[in-house]
Structure 1
Amino acid sequence: MRNLQSSVRLRPVDLARGHGLSTQAVRNYEDAGILPAADRTPAGHRAYTPLHAAALRAFLALVPGHGHRTAATIMRAVNEDAVDEAFRAIDESHAQLLDDRRTLRAVESALRDLEPPVAPEPGDTFVGPLAKKLGVRPATLRKWERAGLVRPRRDPRTGYRVYDEADVRDARLVHQLRRGGHLLEQIAPLIAQVRAAGGLGPLEAALGDWHGRLAARGRAMLTGAAELDAYLRERG
């Protein structure tokens, strides 16, 4: 099969056609090691084979689930006969997806257990009263601040920390996640998600979309695995 396929000659346009790619993109993929090196015709033109077409299909199928950089790393490793390195990159990508799923579950759990917000009373937005309301020490709030989990402003006259509504929200969420056993470094990306969403309410509305994106990545990884397996079989 390998010898039969190697006798078939394909032009860059033959590989590009059907994928919405330019012929230059195909050449760039070869130069980057994503496709195996092509033979050259006597005139100096690249001569691709069905093996190159299979490599291109594998790479394009890997990208949606693993991202361009990891997909390129996988293909380069395979083309350099370092298949174990390719599998390691795949394993790391799957581990990242699993970690993202755990992050989503942590956010959902924290939101589910979070007490309804209470309008702050005068003075509640200073470090002492807020710490008392949360049941933590002021030093704990300052530690969270150093970790970037809460970002109170400083009163220009007194220099005291002042926690606005968003800071109180973040502090309450950090407190809930800490009670759930999460480390500060694990909480940081969750707080970033809340800030990016614009608050807890918008974040709750975005959780369904978050689930959908993770499911799509998982499905794309399966598709990529099938195409990569087909390519490995063609390489022999």
Structure 2
Amino acid sequence: MSLKNTENFFVLGLFLAVLGLISAVLLAVFSDMVSEPIAAAELRTTNEALKQILPAFDNQPSEDKIVLKQDDMEITFMGAAKDGKLVAVAASGERKGYAAPIQALIGFDLDGKIRAVLITKQNETPGLGANVCHRQFKKTIFNLFEKRPEGLAPNSFLDQFNGKSAVKGKNWKVRKDGGRIDYVSGATITSRTITELADAVAQCFLANRAEIIAKLSPAGGNEK
């Protein structure tokens, strides 16, 4: 190899190194620029979801939270407060579905009864598993021109959990597995996953209720 070729390789290597450094700096700057807007957007999305499954609150539930484990699953509990008193609790958990992880946000009254289940992330099969997760107001010929109703849209599968409380030693199961939860035909795995997810979150709340309420209650507004 001639000296000239060696010099060319050195210059090329130096050029690529500088180019890589510039790219890394630009990527870091861009990431820093977009991280705050992304975080703000995610917070808005979470707060909007919380408003659908919890009673009126005047705090920031996503900032008042604790993380516990149940069945190797991390569950984030958030406290909703009104006028300095804890009024409800929301919990977020995730479990592997048919196609990908399914994430749910579940609202609880302080006595442990489920207020509502909302699926916040899923990638199940369109027309099958996805129908188990989606909440939507259906348009018919009778309500075509009516204003969209306020509140949480219905979902016959998810609404089965409303008002349910976990019972120690008794797990919720779909009817196909010997339980009492109706499942959606053609989407058994998705139905089973959400049932197991809701049960795990409810069981965790049952087992740690006193700790959760004590830690999420505003100072001076402890609940029993």
Larger fraction in helix = 1
Answer 1 or 2: which has greater strand percent. 2
Fold shared, TM-score > 0.5 on shorter chain: no
TM-score after normalising by structure 1: 0.27
Greater Cα radius of gyration, structure 1 or 2:
1
